[in-house]
Amino acid sequence: MSRAPFLVAPLDAAHDRTAFNSGSEPLDRYLREVVTQDIRRRVTACFMALAGGQRIAGYYTLASASLLLADLPATTAKKLPRYPTVPVIRMGRLAVDQAFKGQGLGGALLADALDRATRSEIAAYALMVDAKDEVVAAAFYRHHGFVALSGLPLTLFLPLATVNRVPKNGHQSL
Ligand SMILES: CC(C)(COP(=O)(O)OP(=O)(O)OC[C@H]1O[C@@H](n2cnc3c(N)ncnc32)[C@H](O)[C@@H]1OP(=O)(O)O)[C@@H](O)C(=O)NCCC(=O)NCCS
């Protein structure tokens, strides 16, 4: 768990996005320049962890998506109906500011995303992620129980039926 208290809330325009520095320029630029348009167009939802009530310490995005049944490992696919696609929720991006890395925040944001996906009234089989690289990102997700698609090592999923649901409401503290 994180040592500092963080509040998780939907991204809003009141918070300064320019100082966010995860060490990944594409993830920082997305938060600075693109995410508000994507939210307006309803193609993504974005949640941020606030430190001290003001500073963005981390963020992640969620949107609906689907996976091809044929891309799932055979042991998983055989337990699912024979539809060509499987509904999932996609965590397109996850980033923690360098000042807050290694304190449990990335893991806590992932748990928050899993909790939101599990609580949704719209059915989804799994949370899926697109890891941006093998060494850091895919390893982080595998550490948390995610499994890669057949032949696609950077696309990983975790069935939501395996996630323990924690009752929560409104803004959440990590
Ligand atoms: C990957 C990232 C989100 C991790 O965030 P973090 O806050 O530093 O990670 P945490 O401190 O929450 O780590 C939680 C757990 O994951 C483990 N972990 C962290 N990074 C890991 C990695 N790269 N590989 C394997 N395990 C990892 C930690 O050891 C810890 O394990 P524990 O709970 O068993 O003690 C962060 O490094 C980051 O923002 N990286 C740049 C962007 C990125 O790669 N995003 C990934 C999605 S594309």
| CATH code, domain with 69 | 3.40.630.30
Number of structural domains the chain divides into: 1
Residue 1 lies in a domain: no
Task: Reply yes or no on whether 141 is catalytic.
Answer: yes
Kindly state whether residue 173 falls inside one of the protein's structural domains.
no
In angstroms, what is the span from residue 1 Cα to ligand 1's centroid? 12
Core vs surface per residue 78-99: b (16+ CB within 10 A) or e = eeeeeeeebebbbbbbbbbbee
174 falls within a domain: no
Residue 170 within a domain: no
What's the Cα-to-Cα distance from 146 to each of 39, 82, 99, 151, rounded to whole Å? 26, 23, 26, 15
* pLDDT by residue, tens only, the chain of 174 residues: 445 589 999 998 889 999 999 999 999 999 999 999 999 999 999 999 999 888 999 999 999 999 999 999 999 999 999 999 999 999 999 999 999 999 999 999 999 999 999 999 999 999 999 998 888 899 999 999 999 998 999 999 999 999 876 555 556 677
Cα(7) to ligand 1 centroid in Å equals 19
The whole domain housing 105 covers 6-165
Asked whether residue 130 is assigned to any structural domain, the reply reads yes
Domain-embedded: residue 76: yes
Residue nearest to atom 36 of ligand 1 (CA): 96
Pocket of ligand 1 (CB under 6 A): 22-24, 27, 94-96, 101-107, 131-132, 136-137, 139-140, 143
Per-position DSSP letters for 79-121, written without gaps between them: TS-S-SEEEEEEE--EEE-GGGTTTTHHHHHHHHHHHHHHH-S
Is residue 171 one of the residues assigned to a domain?
no
